[in-house]
């Protein structure tokens, strides 16, 4: 796939506002505890790296999800699957999430057990 086709596909996926579950959803907790623990660099890293790697994803900021002990935390929802919450995420862990979990669908460490539906 050439660059032009790749960008068209990415833009088409991102423009499907009526069906946000059709692309990867990345929610980064940006409440006070998250920001104090370093979620802002994680948020920026996820936005930049997913874009650089041509991975169609919607990266958004959310408030507290109640996992202050594990901040920074991010929730990843892959199309057609339930959300997974990752804790203690820094840019190195974010890179592992992108490469192994998102790209290769591999299980990785750092998942917080679910006690909620979604952020």
Per-residue three-class SS string for 98-110: HHHHHHCCCCCCC
* CATH number, position 60: 3.40.30.10
Residue 37 lies in a domain: yes
> 15-54: per-residue pLDDT in tens?
554 555 679 999 999 999 999 999 999 999 999 999 999 9
Output the pTM of the full model. Answer: 0.78
Cα distance between the two ends of the chain: 34
Residue 53 lies in a domain: yes
> 78-102: per-residue pLDDT in tens?
999 999 999 999 999 999 999 999 9
Domain limits at 53?
21-112
Q: Which residues pair with 25 in a beta bridge?
A: 58, 77
Residue 61 lies in a domain: yes
Residue 9 lies in a domain: no
Residue 118 lies in a domain: no
């Amino acid at each position: 796939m050439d660059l032009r086709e790749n960008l068209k596909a990415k833009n088409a996926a991102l423009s499907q506002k009526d069906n946000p579950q059709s692309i990867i959803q990345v929610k980064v907790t940006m409440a006070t505890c998250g920001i104090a623990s370093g979620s802002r660099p994680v948020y920026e890293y996820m936005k930049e790296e997913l874009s650089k790697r041509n991975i169609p994803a919607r990266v958004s900021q959310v408030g507290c999800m109640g996992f202050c002990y594990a901040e920074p935390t991010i929730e990843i929802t892959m199309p057609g699957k339930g959300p997974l919450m990752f804790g203690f995420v820094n840019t190195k862990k974010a890179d592992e999430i992108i490469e192994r979990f998102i790209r290769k669908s591999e299980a990785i460490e750092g998942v917080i057990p679910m006690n909620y539906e979604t952020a």
